[in-house]
A = this chain, B = another copy of it.
């Protein structure tokens, strides 16, 4: 089958997923919102979140367009278009995720109110979350296939390691495929950065200010409806934990797909003389196919959750979805790897030249390493953040000794939780590197993110459940209802932490493969990849990078504090009027 045919099939698959997404969206929207009070409050949250996104996207739009023009002029003439596609995909996912979450939150509390069943309530929240999750995966893949097909048919031809192109104004020679793929990825990243920074700032400021008003100044319980900032806090959950997290994981997912394709190109640049074209095509194709396998896996895992009757243990039900999605990805990925790397045009010697130690199975083993690492990180994060386990309980025990102990103990537990995920990443990194070279590392990272649809869905479950609990509290629903939403909320906090663990773990992996892709891009053909930390320029850059992260965080923290103070004062004025 030709490369283009495969891409068209994957494109159709993403369209099928989109249909499923919109069907779920319509289904959620049709559900009843409950009492008039609930409906009103949910409406306020929804319109608040929309206002936030509208304001934010005004700026994002301007930045995207300006950067796109510069890219076309200076870098490569078509790269601005792919950059815009990236930005567009990320924006669609954010808006869709946020909208579905603000519909799902109130319907989740209403389902709890009507059914008084944990299982039924979990289904609504998860269905809402799955809209974000599947959107991340479907739109991320749709965009990259679009960019590849546009290159094939409208611009200068398909993926090639020899093609050359330049900007409209500046005459710097570059590889157009590489530029389009990396600018597509960058488009996703920029929207993610905006979402994370603006959304994060807003939500934390709202959270702090509502805590100050409630706990310090007016002695009211958390999420009490008399505190006006509580609503801002609800909105924050949606704009940051939903929209921000969606775009964040979309970025990692797209970056690893891009890096894998770019590494495939550099591999061929290094070994091309001794390797048949078929091997090149297979390595270029496999990343998108693996992502496709993951998408099918997620559709099965989340679809089953939609149909089946759920029990009273939400953690178990959510874990099951992840396991099914991951399991399907492993199986389908194996089949795909066999079909692609074991064709009649490819001989074992070519794969050996590429550094594949176990022939056709090498990329598959690498992807499985990534999948296992992803799940392991999830389990480790759950252990460190769930109320069922010792770490969180130990922090709680410190409360009797005053704030200083709680803060210090929390810090210690946080630092302690770092080691295991890192060991997992290292093992996955080394095994996939040894088995399948730098391509294997990229594929391993992609494996971790191949079922991103399921992980983001579970993750989005968190803020939806959080909002549902808040709404139940604010609308003074029956204690029985609140017991259910509280249960979901506690599980939701853990799933949100798992999502963060996943986002960070996959970002670490994505970074490694991006560094390799980048180094590969500027390394002379035939030379080994090298990023020399014994050069003082590289060391200086490394130190500077670390310091910039710190500095950037400091600016954000300052902004958050300032915003929280202003928000608390404004809320205070409203309360005392």
Contact = CB atoms under 8 A, between A and B. Distances in A.
Interface stretch (A113-121, A334-342, A423-431): A423-431
A540 interface: yes
Q: By CB atoms of chain B within 10 A, which of A529, A536, A538, A553 has the most?
A: A536
Given A543-B425, A544-B422, A415 B550 contact: yes
Contact of A553 (B415, B430, B531): B415
Interface in A529-555: 529-540, 543-544, 546-548, 550-551, 553-555
Interface stretch (A302-310, A469-477, A557-565): A557-565
A508 B548 contact: no
Contacts of A539: 429, 512, 515
Contacts of A411: 554, 557
Q: By CB atoms of chain B within 10 A, which of A405, A414, A426, A538 has the most?
A: A426
Interface in A279-309: none
A219 interface: no
A35 interface: no
A375 interface: no
Contact of A412 (B433, B538, B554): B554
Interface in A213-269: 216
Given A411-B557, A561-B409, A536 B429 contact: yes
Q: How many copies does the complex hold?
A: 2
A536 B565 contact: no
A430 B540 CA distance: 7
Interface stretch (A64-72, A174-182, A396-404, A493-501): A396-404
Contacts of A531: 532-534
A438 interface: yes
A547 B208 CA distance: 30
A543 B426 CA distance: 8
B561 A416 contact: no
A408 interface: yes
A491 interface: no
Nearest to A565: B401
Q: By CB atoms of chain B within 10 A, which of A208, A415, A516, A568 has the most?
A: A415
A269 to B, nearest CB: 15
Given A530-B530, A536-B438, A547 B408 contact: no
Contacts of A429: 536, 539-540, 543
Q: By CB atoms of chain B within 10 A, which of A508, A548, A554 has the most?
A: A554
A320 interface: no
B212 A402 contact: yes
A534 B544 contact: no
A144 interface: no
Contact of A544 (B401, B426, B519): B426
A403 B558 CA distance: 15
A564 B403 CA distance: 14
A418 B508 CA distance: 23
Nearest to A537: B430
Contacts of A211: 404
A504 to B, nearest CB: 12
A534 B515 contact: yes
A212 B416 CA distance: 25
Contacts of A409: 557-558, 561
Nearest to A520: B534
Contacts of A548: 419
A407 interface: yes
A416 B535 CA distance: 27
A63 to B, nearest CB: 24
A260 to B, nearest CB: 15
Contacts of A540: 426, 429-430
B512 A544 contact: no
A559 to B, nearest CB: 9
Given A208-B408, A425-B543, 13 more contacts: A212-B404, A403-B403, A405-B561, A409-B558, A411-B554, A412-B558, A415-B551, A418-B547, A418-B551, A419-B550, A429-B536, A529-B532, A530-B532
22 contacts: A398-B561, A405-B565, A407-B407, A408-B560, A409-B557, A409-B558, A412-B553, A412-B558, A412-B561, A415-B553, A416-B551, A416-B558, A425-B543, A426-B543, A430-B537, A433-B537, A519-B534, A529-B532, A530-B532, A531-B534, A532-B533, A533-B538
